[in-house]
A and B are shown apart, each in its own frame.
Chain A
Amino acid sequence: MSLLLTAEDWQTIGLTIKLAGTVTLCLFVVGTPIAWWLGRTASRLKGPIGAVVALPLVLPPSVLGFYLLLAMGPYGFIGHFTNWLGVHPLPFTFWGLVVASTFYSLPFMVQPLQNAFEAVGDKPLEAAATLRASPWDAFFSVALPMALPGFLTGGILTFAHTVGEFGVVLMIGGNLPGETRVASVQIYDHVEAMEYAGAHRLSAVMLVFSFLVLLGLYAWRPNPKKA
């Protein structure tokens, strides 16, 4: 059963899922401490840091793509860093897309987590502290389970948003099959080459997938009016 998609199309779908999955895992690790800090701090830096985290919501992908192209190149600061580490430069690679998408999807992970941590509040943690739980223990056995719905929402939104990424990938990916040619780019190429049948098939798959993800998200979310 091929669903009439070509092997190339399937490859782009596989790559898209691999990218979105990797980015979601990365953002669980990177996003949790940021969200924890934002959700609990009284620092004056909360506003500025929160604004920086939210930037990708507003910035056109072309702005992000342009800066990342320069930053990841051999003259940019990320380029200097990868060079110092002795690893392969990031543009035109899968890991380059992972780094770019981590920036691009940051608010989709951090904001639901921050809301969840804020909802937990101080009291359960204070109670844990009086029972002599260390701060780490309190985080993992009290705050984390209570914030689990936030993790689920953040994870789904991050995954879905990364699947929908296009502009940044086009600017820094180099359109390499199996490495950086994700489904959204493949659809664009189909359209530009006037292969409308191919574009239709892959687009339909993306449409159904996106709907199912959102359906899952909304069906799972408890309705606050009933609660």
Chain B
Amino acid sequence: MFKRCQHLIIGAALALGMASAYAEKVTIAAAADLKYAMADVAQAFEKSHPNDKLDIVYGSSGKALTQIQQGAPYDLYFSADIDYPRELEKAGLVVGKITPYAFGRIVLWSTTMDASKMTLQSLANPDIKHIAIANPKHAPYGMRAVEAIKSAGVWDQVEPKLVYAETVPHAAQLVESGNAQVAVLSLSLVLNPQIASKGKYWLIPDKLHQPLEQAYAITQHGEHNAAAKAFAQYMAQPEARAIMQRYGFVLPGEAK
């Protein structure tokens, strides 16, 4: 009896050991604008790679960069721009090439006003008391928002109304709670069904700001993680591209 138990235990331990040898975990730092799109891509990836598990942490790209520089155990870094990954490369923390994966777009969004009939000039309207944007000091979507408002020639009227949110989703919260009337968000966020049902949006012409070229990098930590490489390659596959397009991203190699 005891012997049989022993066999069982050894067998179970072996099976567990085998399973963990095949299953690989990937930890990803992703820009906050990717919140819903990335979750869908990850779900599709895990379906076709049942042994791999993805852990995605969303936040501002600047914060993720700082964390990786300080040794945070991320295998992949999906930034909301291309300059931050380049910064990481300069520090020698990147394996392989920095790869652009999408171009983002920014929109005006409101739950209390019909944003689809707005332009950037409408932001000067006195009924709009507060406009929420992501903090341009460390969020690429916030930097592009400032550029677009300046290009539209309404900076002087709009600047006193700006409030600075941590990330694009935080800016959406400030509007949803009624504290700001309009926010500049990412198109990817407002195309998510949860957000889309709550308000209307207007796509800001991309000639008004620098391109939001978003790139990823495999970090030094992820160098020997095969699943991290597999997921990076998966981003260029038709399934992943279709999901990204559904969230309004323009993809590399695509006519704009």
A: residues with CB less than 8 A from B are 69-70, 72-76, 79, 89, 91-92, 170-172, 174-176, 189, 191-194
In the assembled complex, which residues on chain A have CB atoms less than 8 Å from the CB atom of B130? Answer: 92, 174
Q: Is the CB of B66 within 8 A of A170?
A: no
B30 close to A (CB within 8 Å): no
Main secondary structure, interface of B, reads: mixed
A73 with B163, Cβ < 8 A, contacts A189-B137, A193-B62, A193-B138 known: no
One of B62, B137, B170, B178 near A73 (C-beta < 8 A): B178
User: How far apart are the CA atoms of A89 and B166 in the complex, in Å?
Assistant: 21
One of A76, A174, A176, A191 near B66 (C-beta < 8 A): A191
Q: Is the CB of A192 within 8 A of B179?
A: no
Q: Is the CB of B62 within 8 A of A175?
A: no
Q: Is the CB of A175 within 8 A of B135?
A: yes
B99 close to A (CB within 8 Å): no
In the assembled complex, which residues on chain A have CB atoms less than 8 Å from the CB atom of B138? Answer: 189, 192-193
B237 close to A (CB within 8 Å): no
Q: Is the CB of A92 within 8 A of B179?
A: yes
In the assembled complex, which residues on chain A have CB atoms less than 8 Å from the CB atom of B87? Answer: 194
Q: A174-B163, A175-B164 are in contact. List 16 more A-B contacts (CB 8 A).
A: A73-B178, A73-B179, A76-B177, A79-B178, A170-B166, A171-B170, A174-B174, A175-B135, A176-B163, A176-B164, A189-B137, A189-B138, A192-B60, A193-B62, A194-B66, A194-B87
4 shortest A-B CB distances, which residue pairs? A174-B163, A175-B164, A192-B138, A73-B178
Q: How far is the CB of A51 from chain B (nearest CB, A)?
A: 28
Q: Is the CB of B137 within 8 A of A193?
A: yes
Interface residues on B, range: 20 to 34
In the assembled complex, which residues on chain B have CB atoms less than 8 Å from the CB atom of A91? Answer: 174, 179
A92 with B163, Cβ < 8 A, contacts A69-B173, A192-B63 known: yes
In the assembled complex, which residues on chain B have CB atoms less than 8 Å from the CB atom of A192? Answer: 60, 62-63, 66, 135, 137-138
B32 close to A (CB within 8 Å): no
B115 close to A (CB within 8 Å): no
B65 close to A (CB within 8 Å): yes
User: How far apart are the CA atoms of A3 and B60 in the complex, in Å?
Assistant: 31
In the assembled complex, which residues on chain A have CB atoms less than 8 Å from the CB atom of B170? Answer: 171
Main secondary structure, interface of A, reads: loop
User: How far apart are the CA atoms of A170 and B170 in the complex, in Å?
Assistant: 10
User: How far apart are the CA atoms of A172 and B164 in the complex, in Å?
Assistant: 10
Please report the number of residue pairs spanning A and B whose Cβ atoms sit closer than 8 angstroms.
Answer: 54
In the assembled complex, which residues on chain A have CB atoms less than 8 Å from the CB atom of B60? Answer: 192
Q: How far is the CB of B49 from chain A (nearest CB, A)?
A: 33
Closest to B63 in A: A192
6 contacts between A and B (CB under 8 A): A91-B174, A92-B163, A176-B164, A192-B60, A192-B137, A194-B87
Q: Is the CB of A89 within 8 A of B179?
A: yes
In the assembled complex, which residues on chain A have CB atoms less than 8 Å from the CB atom of B132? Answer: 174
Q: How far is the CB of B168 from chain A (nearest CB, A)?
A: 15
User: How far apart are the CA atoms of A74 and B65 in the complex, in Å?
Assistant: 37
A70 with B177, Cβ < 8 A, contacts A175-B135, A193-B137 known: yes
User: How far apart are the CA atoms of A72 and B166 in the complex, in Å?
Assistant: 19
In the assembled complex, which residues on chain B have CB atoms less than 8 Å from the CB atom of A72? Answer: 179
Q: Is the CB of B177 within 8 A of A73?
A: yes
Q: Is the CB of B62 within 8 A of A74?
A: no
User: How far apart are the CA atoms of A192 and B130 in the complex, in Å?
Assistant: 24
In the assembled complex, which residues on chain A have CB atoms less than 8 Å from the CB atom of B137? Answer: 189, 192-193
User: How far apart are the CA atoms of A89 and B60 in the complex, in Å?
Assistant: 28
One of B65, B164, B177, B178 near A174 (C-beta < 8 A): B164
User: How far apart are the CA atoms of A193 and B134 in the complex, in Å?
Assistant: 13
Q: How far is the CB of B81 from chain A (nearest CB, A)?
A: 13
Q: Which of B140-178 contact A (CB under 8 A)?
A: 163-166, 170, 173-174, 177-178
In the assembled complex, which residues on chain B have CB atoms less than 8 Å from the CB atom of A74? Answer: 178-179
User: How far apart are the CA atoms of A172 and B18 in the complex, in Å?
Assistant: 50
User: How far apart are the CA atoms of A89 and B165 in the complex, in Å?
Assistant: 18
Residue of B65, B135, B163, B179 with highest tally of chain A CB at under 10 A: B179
User: How far apart are the CA atoms of A171 and B174 in the complex, in Å?
Assistant: 9
